[in-house]
Amino acid sequence: MTQHIPDSTVVDSPTPTDAGAPGRLAGGRLRVWDIVFFVVSAAAPLTVVASAAPTTLRLGGIGAAGAILICGVVLILFAVGFTAMSRHVRNTGAFYAYASKGIGKPAGIGTALVTVFAYIALSLSFYGFLGFFAALTFTSLFGIDLPWPIWSLVAAGLVAFLGYRKVDVGAKVLAVLLTAEVGILLVLSIGVLLNGGPEPWSAAPFAPEHVLFAPGVAALFVTGFGAYIGFEGTAIYSEEAKDPARTVPIATYVAVGFLAVFYAFTFWVITVAFGVEGVLDLVATDAFTETVFIAGDQYLGAWAAVALQVLVVTSFFACLLAFHNASSRYLFSLSREGLLPAPLARTHPTTRAPHVASTVIAGLAVVAILVAWATGADPILQLGIWSYGTGVAGLVFAQSVAAISVIGFFARDRRGHGLFRVVIAPVLGAAGLITGFLLIVLNFEFVTGLDPVTNLVLILPTPILFVAGIVWGLAIRRRDPAHYRRLAEPIEAD
């Protein structure tokens, strides 16, 4: 049996899956808002505002809000072409499929390896962050004093259960958690604006001299691009989306647009809460990590500080679930392509979730947590920051390759799309992303706080995996042309 694929490509349709065979994900399950919850939860608004905002103000100056807004514009420009391509390339491998169709299958394999590595690294980092903050929260609020790895292992078990079940169960959990964390930040913002703050409101955070020409411009944009990590997840769920040609673009624009406005607004509100000079004085002290909690206590009362403590933990859990879902779908996709062991392509006979890949990702997390525990690694400075920095660098690199792939895909045929959507916007988006990647690499110490040699070790997996993937793809093309031709073909859901 064959099915029609965009651009007149015809591929064999997989047969319905069973528990032991490669399968397809359940089509028509996810709505626009389901995908938006996955993507925005992966970006973790509360953790970005509570941790990244004070750090960025400390390192880069008052222009944090303006920088976050510029990064959002760059990513929306990229998304314009990215979503146009999603109409023609439908595969849960997202960046892998895009790079394969835009600049060649060897580059697609290299991009896939980088992306899988980056997603898994980011997932592991959040286990460290969650364990640390959960231990603090449960000790201070409930008197339950347990080592951080216990909380990380509990989180791994919950994520594994939800990942094994089905994707829309995860979406419902994320919807509740995300609504709570966004809600508390909006309540805090309203409280600050109603009270007015110690100084008159100022537009200084958006002024060019504090953003584009600030001494700490690199720090501003390193954090700025990192705040949106995971937005490309809209395309990962294309096989499971209802009407993907409409759902994926809408979900992408809504997710990126919301994050851009929300981040810029809440970053600015922090400057209102303490005043431009006051906030710079505060973040220059050792208490800078408590900036948002201090604001909550001052403007809403002690209950807000407690709520923020709890919601920071649930926000990290939302990150875990979102990146776990993305990681498992990449493993599933590459296994289905014959690039990873076949069992990873199995889907659950009832829910059709990629349960084997999901279980493997959860298993890797458990191993990482236990190794960190046994070696006495710090959950924040080592398991958390090291993994996070590596994952951010890898994923922004993959985004840059995907942006170039969009340009290549539409270079000879715009396929009915307008010049702005598939030429001008993608070129601007690619230029912005490449600049962002270079800023991250050249200023990696702002992310990790480590020495140059250690930073190089953390960055090297990205180029090494990309080159290795290209070599692997060329080898497949030479040794197994039939397999090579089947790579990165669009998949139609039931």
pLDDT, tens digit (0-9, with 9 covering 90-100), for 103-152: 999 999 999 999 889 989 988 988 998 998 899 889 988 899 999 999 99
Q: How far apart are CA 440 and CA 85, in angstroms?
A: 27
pLDDT (mean) for 442-470? 88
Q: How far apart are CA 93 and CA 337, in angstroms?
A: 10
pLDDT (mean) for 222-228? 83
Residue 200, CA distances (Å) to 61, 263, 264, 271, 469 in order: 18, 21, 18, 10, 54
The residue with greater pLDDT, 381 or 277, is 277
Provide the pLDDT for residue 434. 93
Helix 291-299 / helix 167-195 crossing angle, nearest 10 deg = 60
Provide the pLDDT for residue 40. 77
pLDDT, tens digit (0-9, with 9 covering 90-100), for 76-103: 999 888 888 877 776 555 788 889 999 9
pTM, full prediction:
0.81
In a 10 Å sphere around its CB, with 0-12 CB exposed, 13-18 middle and 19+ buried, how is residue 241 labelled? Answer: buried
pLDDT, tens digit (0-9, with 9 covering 90-100), for 258-283: 999 999 999 999 999 999 999 999 99
In degrees and rounded to multiples of 5, residue 102 shows phi and psi of -90, -40
DSSP 15: P
What is the pLDDT confidence band of residue 169, given thresholds at 50, 70 and 90? low
Provide the pLDDT for residue 8. 30
pLDDT (mean) for 373-391? 87
Provide the pLDDT for residue 102. 92
Structure tokens at 112: 């896939």
Q: How far apart are CA 80 and CA 76, in angstroms?
A: 6
DSSP 200: -
What domains sit in the chain, N to C, each tagged with a CATH number?
Answer: 25-486 (1.20.1740.10)
What is the pLDDT confidence band of residue 4, given thresholds at 50, 70 and 90? very low
pLDDT at 11 over 70: no
pLDDT, tens digit (0-9, with 9 covering 90-100), for 328-370: 888 888 888 888 898 998 887 776 778 888 899 999 999 999 9
Helix (H, G, I), strand (E, B) or coil at 216: coil
Q: Are 143 and 448 in contact (CB under 8 A)?
A: no
Residue 279, CA distances (Å) to 200, 210, 294 in order: 13, 15, 11
